[in-house]
Amino acid sequence: MALILTFLGKGGTGRTTMAIAAAKQFAAQGKRVLLASQDTSPALAVLVGAPLSADPCELGPNLKGVMLQTAVLLERSWEELKKVEAQYLRTPFFKAVYGQELGVLPGMDQALALNAVREYDASGQYDVIVFDSTGDQSAVRLMGAPESMSWYIRRFRQVFADSDLGRTLSPFIQPIAAAVLNVNWSGDLFAQPAANQVNDLLEQGKAAVADPNRVLAYLVTTASTDAVATAKYLWGSAQQAGLTVGGVLLNESMVNEALRTEFAPLSVSHIPSKVGEDWQPLMQAMPNFTQVATQVPRPIRVEVAERKVYLFLPGFDKKQVKLTQYGPEVTIEAGDQRRNIFLPPELRGQQVTGAKFQDNYLIISF
């Protein structure tokens, strides 16, 4: 399993430059590195000094690069979908539709990029995958997708099972489905082979995002007020998605005490300007990305003995946060990001008795 490293920040702050420098730093350390970028413009090829394509190609010792081209990824994923369909359906109906015919719908680029990174990770060919994403709110949602999708499955599964419609249709759906699918269908409609494969992938994704040794983000900013404000907002949004932010890369500006205070307790690293084709000063200025797991606040901490849940939400205040509770879950809305907390058995069914902000933490009491 590889370390997946990505960068968040306002456009124009140098996220792609930081991604390339980080990839080169890891490669110089002897790690097998893949630089995977959603930037399909010629600018990336100019920066790395080599042409890139939809398949990994050599950029230097221990370093490969790949462009995550949405149309190509859609075509490949469609072929995989047809294989799965043929495995479970007696009469597949997607087989007459070809990936080359499909257009790209809004949102597909992010989902396909996430799946591509997952597949490169699963290949075992890389120690580090530097993911040069869009770096904005949509990239944060991308990283939080396994958690969000598993919530939909979990909630709708229970809602359907408890409904009169579910109880009424279940005896009829199962024999009909068994006649259509190439599996013996019995029991839970959501616990069939195809559904189990999806659930397993989502659980693996959730576990990876929650582990800073597996998935890690860094903020990239300049000293400008708008760039700093955007970085802080994305920091809080990343915490909401369960993604750990390990530090701040300050591009082309000197670190001052005001900036250290803005991003405390994160470390702020000054990254010098790139001069010509010399990447060495940037590589040397990069922090040690592998030593952050115990140094930065985790997005969520549950203290059963205290009957409290701690959420680290920098960049937000009490007025920007909404808390609701339905059944066994608590939903936190901060900015444009929601997080559903599935409570442990000891707190499940207990009502929220209070919530307060303290030192960038939202502390929920039961």
Q: What CATH number belongs to 3-74+100-145+205-291?
A: 3.40.50.300
* pLDDT reported for residue 229: 92
How far apart (Å, rounded) are the C-alpha atoms in residues 165 and 156? 13
Query: What is the tally of helices (H) and strands (E) in the chain?
Result: 10, 15
Tracing tokens 């592998």 back to the chain, one arrives at: 290
Selection from 245, 253, 261 nearest residue 222 by Cα:
253
Q: How far is CA 330 from CA 116, 149, 196, 288, 294, in A?
A: 32, 16, 25, 35, 27
Q: Provide the pLDDT for residue 70.
A: 83
Per-residue model confidence (pLDDT) at position 31: 97
pLDDT tens-place values along the chain, 366 residues long: 899 999 999 999 999 999 999 999 999 999 999 999 988 888 888 899 888 998 999 999 999 999 998 888 788 776 766 666 566 666 666 666 666 666 656 667 778 888 889 889 999 999 999 999 988 888 888 787 777 777 677 667 666 667 765 666 566 555 555 554 555 555 555 555 555 555 666 667 667 777 888 999 999 999 999 999 999 999 988 888 888 899 999 997 788 888 888 898 899 999 998 888 899 999 999 999 887 656 777 888 889 999 999 988 888 878 888 888 876 778 888 877 888 887 888 888 888 998 898 888 899 999
Q: Which helix (H) or strand (E) holds 363?
A: strand 361-365
Ranges in the chain annotated CATH 2.60.40.790: 300-365
Q: CA geometry: angle at 346 spanning 307 and 161, to 5°? A: 130
CA angle 253, 255, 257 (to 5 degrees): 140
What is the Cα–Cα distance from 281 to 279, expressed in whole angstroms? 6
The residues near 363 (Cβ < 8 Å, ≥ 6 apart) are 308, 309, 310, 311, 355, 356, 357
d(CA 177, CA 185): 7
How many CB atoms lie under 10 A from the CB of residue 359? Answer: 10
H/E stretch holding 251: strand 245-251
Q: Give the largest Cα separation in the chain, rounded.
A: 70
CATH T-level assignment (fold) for domain 300-365? Immunoglobulin-like (2.60.40)
Q: Which of 359, 143, 146 is nearest to 237 (CA)?
A: 143
Q: Within 10 Å of residue 90's Cβ, how many Cβ atoms?
A: 9
Question: Residue 57: which H helix or E strand, with range?
Answer: strand 57-60
C-alpha span between 301 and 298 (Å, rounded): 7
Amino acid letter, residue 241: A
d(CA 140, CA 106): 16
Where do the CATH 3.40.50.300 domains begin and end in the chain? 3-74+100-145+205-291
Q: Are 70 and 109 in contact (CB under 8 A)?
A: yes
Q: Do 294 and 246 meet the contact criterion of CB atoms below 8 Å apart?
A: no
* Predicted local confidence at residue 208, as pLDDT: 73
Supply 289's token pair.
């990305």
Alpha helices in 15-107 (DSSP H): 15-28, 42-48, 70-88
Q: CA-CA distance, 308 to 301, in Å (whole number)?
A: 9
Bridge-based pairing of strands 215-221 and 3-8 is: parallel
Choose among 141, 148, 190, 208: nearest CA to 2: 208
Contacts of 208 (CB under 8 A, 6+ apart): 1, 4, 121, 146, 214, 215
Residues paired with residue 37 on neighbouring β-strands, in sequence order: 67, 132
d(CA 332, CA 5): 26
